[in-house]
Amino acid sequence: MTSAIDESAVVEELYRGSREDFLPTRASRVREARAAGDRDLAARLGALRKPTVGAWLVNQVVWRHPARIAELTSLASRLRSVHQHGDGEQIRAAGRERQALLRSLDAVVREVASGAGLRPGAETVNQVTATFQAALVDPAALRLVRSGRLAATVEQDADLMGLLPQMDTPAPVWPSRPAPPERPVRPAPTPAPPVVSPPVATPPPVVSAPPVAPAPPAPSKELVEAGRREQECAAARERAEEGLTAAQEHAARTREAADEARARFNRAREEHDAALAAIVVARAALTTADREVRAAHQAVVALRDR
């Protein structure tokens, strides 16, 4: 059935809001979807992942500083064009502009983190920087960043699918716990009519006490096993997310080292080109000096022969 709940608005609310409020807000929206009778929507909302600290910071930059994201988008387009059609000077200029934008975004991220009372470590900062670097060179990563709905930071060479909630296909969920069946309540027995025994006086009617309600049935072994399995799967998912975070942090560190190596190589190449140019100038000067020495020598010889 079609629900009156706007799924896109709920997803935006979750990823735009406070990270601490993500889980309680998600649980509240899932209950609302179930109450509305849309179990498919409830399943999709329940499968949404809480963003990592790095992903949450990127999302906040998207929502709070759209002008920076517009600069990121524009520069990404220029970088692709320059690397395809530009010369060396244009490429170097675009690289300097890229570094300036990344530094600017880093300052914005630190401002957002400070306002939220967060003190992100070096690994988280590297993840955020790597995400913006990926957005500059990978159109798929740029689309993910601009959505403002990241659950995890992205890498240029990583599998970019699955980091946003899938709107089309509901995620599998455990079936809801069935309610215990209602037990019929036995009616109270009808009191027997009083027995008249002359000459004995009529005794008062005896009213039997109402039956005691039966205790609720104990949960079945299947239900207990299903609950235990659900907890194990949730713990396995948490471990998998921690492994993903660790792998992304390692990739960020290696990417930073590669960027530094490329920067050193570019500086060395520029210095080498400048040295080659200096050699050409020096050789030209040497040739000119040789000509002047020969001319001066010939003048001396001519004066001596007079």
pLDDT tens profile 93-133: 888 999 999 999 999 999 999 999 999 999 999 999 999 99
Place of tokens 């920067």: 263
The tokens describing 216, both together, are 């609720």
The tokens describing 151, both together, are 């659950």
The tokens describing 187, both together, are 């009616």
Please state, as a whole number, how many other Cβ atoms lie within 10 Å of the Cβ of residue 116: 16
Residue type at 289?
A
The tokens describing 158, both together, are 């990583």
Instruction: From 133, 131, 123, select the one nearest 101 (Cα to Cα).
Output: 133
Question: Is 1's pLDDT higher than 60?
Answer: no
Our CA angle for 171, 155, 138, nearest 5°, is: 100
Place of tokens 């060396």: 88
Rounded CA separation 9/23 (Å): 16
Tens digit of pLDDT for each residue in 266-296?
566 666 666 665 555 567 667 777 888 888 8
| C-alpha dihedral sign at 246, 248, 251, 252 | negative
Rounded CA separation 45/30 (Å): 6
C-beta of residue 175 within 8 angstroms of C-beta of residue 161: no
Question: pTM here?
Answer: 0.52
